[in-house]
Amino acid sequence: MIRGLALSVFMALGCLTWSCGTTQDTTSNGTSSEVLVGLERTPCHGRCPVYNLRVHSDGKATLDVGRFCDEAFGRSLAQGQHTARVDVGVWSIVADQARAMGFDTLAACYDDPRVMDLPSATLTIQNRSVMNRYGGPNLNDLYTRIERLVGRMDWQATPEDAR
């Protein structure tokens, strides 16, 4: 029993360590592209928005739209993968604002695995990620700013998701 509990705790800590790391994407040609701003929202048992946004330093943005995103984005986007070209200057301002709020001083992970039914938000600024699910700083104003920018972008559904 104790051995099983110890193994479960070890596996949970390993998952947390893995999920609270840094993020770097690789483009199709093998070169790395810095994630300038990213925001991933995970589900809850209610109507929490679920999506994964990545804005890259080369101006490419990707958005995986899940459920309940209409209110967050202020518009309707079909579920699935979307891409866009963005003004990197606008997103650099968001990154600068996050750093001015002390983003660089935050822990990599705010969580309590004993607490259930809370969505997480993982914010990435220039490849540094902070997972915030429980007990972390209030970054809702920054999340809302990002979501409003997402809502104003010209997203194109990827061919396999276009209907």
Beta bridge partners of residue 125, listed in sequence order: 37, 128
Q: Is residue 31 part of a domain?
A: yes
Cα gap 95→20, rounded to integer Å: 19
Cβ count within 10 A of residue 80: 15
pLDDT value at position 163? 52
Q: Is residue 36 part of a domain?
A: yes
Cα gap 158→119, rounded to integer Å: 26
Structural domain span for residue 93: 2-157
Provide the 3-class DSSP secondary structure of residue 75.
coil
Q: Is residue 92 part of a domain?
A: yes
Q: Tell me how many domains the chain contains.
A: 1
Each residue's pLDDT, cut to its tens digit, for the chain (163 residues) gives: 444 434 333 334 344 444 454 444 444 444 568 999 999 999 999 999 999 999 999 999 999 999 999 999 999 999 999 999 999 999 999 999 999 999 999 999 999 999 988 999 999 999 999 999 999 999 999 999 999 999 999 999 988 765 5
- CATH at residue 119: 3.30.1560
Q: Is residue 104 part of a domain?
A: yes
pLDDT value at position 159? 80
Q: Is residue 162 part of a domain?
A: no
Ramachandran bin of 135, using left for φ above 0, alpha for ψ from -120 to 50, beta for the remaining angles: left
